[in-house]
Chains A and B, each alone.
Chain A
Amino acid sequence: MTKEPESIPGGAVRAAPPALPRAQPSAPPPRRSPGRRLFALRGDIPTWLHVVLGLACIALIFLAWFLATVGEPEFRMVSPTVLPSPAETFSSFQELWFDRALTRNLIVTLRRVVLGFALACAVGIPLGILSGCFALAQGLLFPLTIFGRNIPLAALIPLTFTAFGIGEWQKVMFIFIACVMFIVSDTATAIRDVDQRYVDTAWTLGAKRRQIITKVLVPLAMPAVFNSLRLLFGLAFGYIMLAELVKLGGEVGGLGDIIRQSQRRGYIEHIWLVLLIIPFIALAIDRTLKAIQKSLFPYQYGGHGLLHRALRVVGHAWEDLKGVFFSREVATTQAGPGEEDA
């Protein structure tokens, strides 16, 4: 099967190779026509082209936005009460930033998500580990997981007001409820997915049941756990908007509250601005979490793994400290094949 030498439009004509072309170590790879290269199935395009295409998309959207909102308010294609013009929108940024206290509200929102999510992790990860390790725990938690994962969360908001009042606590607990069962079941799955051969190896190296959990199953499941936590955090960020859009008296604050108030007072351009800003914040959070993830699990994602190595040092220091304060008994004899282990 020989290939026809391809002509390159506008390029130099290469000499036809003799009979069977032999791969030359230094020869450049055979070039394909640009069309085929750009439309290669699941192929790559150059980075610059990637950027240009993205910018083109943004430009098109702005153009459409501009055309839809050009002219005097009465004669526009889209009413300014729905979509203000780009100029109107961006000129209101200063007002949003200073008068509406964008940063402070952003921090309020983030604090709620982080608190609720941390609480969900603190409860969900240990429960997930238990339920991954022991079928008994999994059986016990099964109904809760089914409910937690399938309940329409928006419908829970009224109840959270009844249960947790109208303050911060209600929003934090809403995030907690939204996430905790997902964390439990994802952690359990990650533990179950650790290959049995690692457990078998640990047994033959004399590990006890507790050591297999703490030294094998949990650490080997962590990359998968962290990855699902990162995705869930994105979800939680979405849920907090929902919680903030509902107000039952008192101070609410947060990005969702800015949107709600803007709608009531007719600052439509602020709604659009917040909607534009949120994805950037979500992206920044996700990128940060990804960087942490990479640093924590170099054996999964490559790189130097600074955080991982730091944790290793801390672990060693902790162990050495414990050794100073508690003299531990070292098992010198091995448990035989029929002996009880401790």
Chain B
Amino acid sequence: MSDPVPQDAVPQDDGPQDAVPQDAVLQDALPQDVGVGTVLDHVREPEEIPSAGIVSFRNVRKTYNVGEANAFTAIDEVNFVVEDIEGKGEFVSILGPSGCGKSTVLRLIAGLEPQHPPTVGEVRVMGRTVERPGADRGMVFQDYTSFDHRTVLDNVAFGLECRGVPREEREESARHWIGRVGLSVENDQLKYPHELSGGMRQRVAIARTLILRPRIILMDEPFGALDPTTRLNMQDLLVDLWREVEATVFFVTHSIGEAVYLGDRVYLMSNSPGTILEELEVEPPNRPALEMQREVPFQETVFYIRDKIATLEEER
């Protein structure tokens, strides 16, 4: 077991350090620094860390429609572990070619059917095998999932209502979170989802999840349907909120820039049947999205990953 190489500060002024050509990167012994990130020499497995980790996958395979003619193995041999960093939590981005099983991984953590249970292997959360979905693992989907018949206020308060929190109390809390995600309490709380823009709906979805203070937040392309400007705003919002809620976030996205910007850690998945191909540790987002994503080392990391994914998509 080799320790992950600690990230060193990357000089911000003069482009790619050491000017390592791309193919050399691929051949060189790992771990390897790439821009703002470090590619680990292998994906860490559950045995390699002393604690149980907050989420761990051990030899997980998921085959849909087992025993039928259209049986399809979406992921296989998935092994990884994310540490439980006390009082902080990690931000884990998951990247990969489309159809490689990113959503499958997320929904296995959430315990949602039909992905749950795994066909083979074990999915553990906080040391216990996942058996059912629960409010400790909040999820934000790409599709808008605000309940159409509920006002913004009632949508955000939904989880507390299910928990039996009295109305006054849960509405006060909901108002707090409506404000925290950048909606106007005064103007928006009594609106219905159909009166909101896509970005506003995703803010409602985020507030609705965060109000329950989950230890784990699963986000499946939450900004996939938003326009680029809204998307950048939402990225900044997420960074902001995440510092406050101290949760471990799993974030699936198609945007490599988004993954590298938001993530402390990036998992790169292979073609289906998907498995975790590479694990990168990257600089945390300590600057506004627009600023950081313009910098050269940042771009270097993005290009490194983009080439990998392009190769994967060609291989299919």
Query: Contact between B162 and A319 (Cβ–Cβ < 8 Å)?
Result: no
Which of the 9-residue segments A166-174, A280-288, A323-331 touches chain B? A323-331
Nearest-neighbour CB distance to chain B for A326, whole angstroms, equals 11
Nearest-neighbour CB distance to chain A for B300, whole angstroms, equals 36
Which of the 9-residue segments B139-147, B261-269, B288-296 touches chain A? B139-147
A97 within 8 Å of B (CB atoms): no
B159's contact among A206, A300, A308, A319, by CB below 8 Å, is which? A206
B126 within 8 Å of A (CB atoms): yes
Nearest-neighbour CB distance to chain A for B246, whole angstroms, equals 15
B134's contact among A201, A220, A320, A337, by CB below 8 Å, is which? A337
Nearest-neighbour CB distance to chain B for A340, whole angstroms, equals 9
The 8 A CB mask of B46-79 against A (1 = contact, 0 = none) is 0000000000000000000000000000000000
- Cβ contacts under 8 Å, B208 to chain A: 205
Complex formed: what's the CA distance from A195 to B192 in Å?
18
Interface size of A in residues (CB-CB distance below 8 Å): 39
Nearest-neighbour CB distance to chain B for A325, whole angstroms, equals 13
A216's contact among B135, B147, B165, B192, by CB below 8 Å, is which? B147
Query: Contact between B194 and A337 (Cβ–Cβ < 8 Å)?
Result: no
B240 within 8 Å of A (CB atoms): no
- Cβ contacts under 8 Å, A329 to chain B: 164
Residue of A nearest to B107 (CB): A200
Which of A222-257 touch B at CB < 8 Å? Answer: 222
Residue of A nearest to B190 (CB): A309
A205-B138, A205-B158, A299-B149 given; A331·B129 CB < 8 A: no
A215 within 8 Å of B (CB atoms): yes
Query: Contact between B135 and A337 (Cβ–Cβ < 8 Å)?
Result: no
Query: Contact between B135 and A206 (Cβ–Cβ < 8 Å)?
Result: yes
Complex formed: what's the CA distance from A54 to B145 in Å?
44
Nearest-neighbour CB distance to chain A for B223, whole angstroms, equals 17
A198 within 8 Å of B (CB atoms): yes
B193's contact among A206, A299, A339, by CB below 8 Å, is which? A299
A338's contact among B107, B130, B149, B154, by CB below 8 Å, is which? B130
The 8 A CB mask of A202-229 against B (1 = contact, 0 = none) is 1111111001000110011010000000
- Cβ contacts under 8 Å, B148 to chain A: 220, 299-300
Complex formed: what's the CA distance from A149 to B149 in Å?
31
Nearest-neighbour CB distance to chain A for B252, whole angstroms, equals 15
Residue of A nearest to B161 (CB): A215
A17 within 8 Å of B (CB atoms): no
A299-B192, A336-B126 given; A331·B163 CB < 8 A: yes
- Cβ contacts under 8 Å, A219 to chain B: 147, 149
Nearest-neighbour CB distance to chain A for B227, whole angstroms, equals 22
Query: Contact between B132 and A323 (Cβ–Cβ < 8 Å)?
Result: no
- Cβ contacts under 8 Å, A337 to chain B: 111, 125-126, 128-132, 134, 136-137
Complex formed: what's the CA distance from A136 to B111 in Å?
23
- Cβ contacts under 8 Å, B110 to chain A: 200, 203-204
Given contacts A204-B218, A215-B158, A299-B192, 11 further A-B contacts (CB under 8 A): A197-B141, A200-B110, A200-B139, A205-B135, A205-B209, A211-B162, A319-B167, A329-B164, A334-B135, A335-B135, A337-B132
